[in-house]
Structure 1
Amino acid sequence: MLGATPMGDPNDASPRLREALATADVVAAEDTRRTKALASALGVQIAGRVVSFYDQVETDRIPGLLEEIRAGQRVLLVTDAGMPSVSDPGYRLVAACAQANLPVTCLPGPSAVTTALALSGLPVERFCFDGFPPRKRGPRQAWLRTLVAEQRAVAFFEAPHRLADTLADAVEVLGPQRLAAVCRELTKTYEEVRRGTLADLAEWAAEGVRGEITVVLAGATPTAADPEDLVDAVEKWVSQGVGLKDACARVAAEEQAEGTGTVSKRALYEAVLAARSR
């Protein structure tokens, strides 16, 4: 079982998590001390064996946990806060269980990603999660360049001491007017959500920020492509035997997929005919 744990407020623990903590034969925990503290705050007595399951020991622990599951033991995996496998240990154990044809279930609950998306005030009908950005400036800017035309909202985690540099790089690569939200200490006593342009948020973060951070970037706004600039691309398809209407459809789809702009098939068709008549 994967169990989502509270990010801050113990009252966010689900009844199923409380029951699992009390009844599991084995509790695999990213931090055994924090898991025991959570159980105490919930008034739950952990009856099973508690073992550590953090990044450095994850691979070594998996064979033993698989044997426990094969023997019919109930194994609960929890991380320090939120959902296992989401930038936390877990996915390797799930993959190993799937490969061994062993059952896996999830006790849903808190997640910093979905909580931040909901609080961002940004359009998040479509989104992606990108973990932690690269720590060094060069790779981080290269990562940001992949988001220039990304039309989905993008959620990611960041360490508080790197937030100012990441936001400054985002201003440089994505532009100062791109909207974003910085969510700090979600569900905790000093929860704070800052919303605004990247320029505003970078200026705020430069003064120093503490706590656990989740950032949500607004998706890029699609721009209208100039059909005349795409005539050659259409004619290239036509020269390969594709009909004019189909060629226009392909180029329009390519522009949409690459995020470089939007253009209608009709506008392309008319632009090609106009160019041919010159």
Structure 2
Amino acid sequence: MFFVASKVIFFCIQPSNLVFFALLGGTLLLGWCPKWGRRLLYAGLAGIVLFGYLPGGNILVLPLEERFASRVPAVPHEKISGIILLGGFEDISITRARGGLALNEAAERLTETLRLAHELPEAKVVFTGGSGALFGDSGIADAVKQFFIDAGIAPDRIIIENDSRNTYQNAVFTKALLRPVQQDRWLLVTSAYHMPRSTGVFRKVGFDVVPYPVDFRTRDWDDAFRPFDSFAAGLQRTDLAVKEWIGLVAYWITGRSSAIFPGP
């Protein structure tokens, strides 16, 4: 129920959708109530400029990305039990239709995990993720596992969790699968903007992971003053950041995270 509700609510309040609703509503109202029609059109246009061209999306995502590290961390020197890779980098529908392993803009989660797996040859490699779509197929664990095998990772090092549909289930199902003990050290690999919520959830379920943020979407704080090259890019960045901030608050309110804004 929580999963379905979160998908429906965010669809309704997603910034790019709100801009579209404002423009559509303003256009429809022009003939019936010109005053409110113009107001909605102005609001929609202002949203496009603020979050499509001006760096509003970067301003929202930067605190998330800078929370744990300002760059990809160095490979740890201490003994690591395993590397936990959160799903979200895979394009499930394209993979099923075309074969192979299709990736999206979060592909760095996979490439950095592979690099860590080669640098830490004794560590287990754990993939956790099913389908996060409201309507759609299950995950593509077989394709992810085969990618690691083809890239030189021994099959007995690979552990797959393919039932989770959100970050909370990632943590709960992975903990049940791995049964970590206190002396274990597990790296958690996910996008930098997603790391605060992910770490908070794993802490909440009693799984103390070592954050390893990757897939940074901004260069530095100078991006808070750089306009976007296209309206689509700016709106996409804003959608990403707003979804994460809403997720942080929602997970904290529902008791699924250790803090409203988890940190190091």
Q: Please report the TM-score for the alignment, with normalisation by the length of structure 2.
A: 0.32
Q: Please report the TM-score for the alignment, with normalisation by the length of structure 1.
A: 0.31
Q: Which of the pair is proportionally richer in helix?
A: 2
Q: Which of the pair is proportionally richer in strand?
A: 1
The structure showing larger relative contact order (alpha-carbon pairs under 8 Å, at least 6 residues apart) is 2
Higher Rg: 1
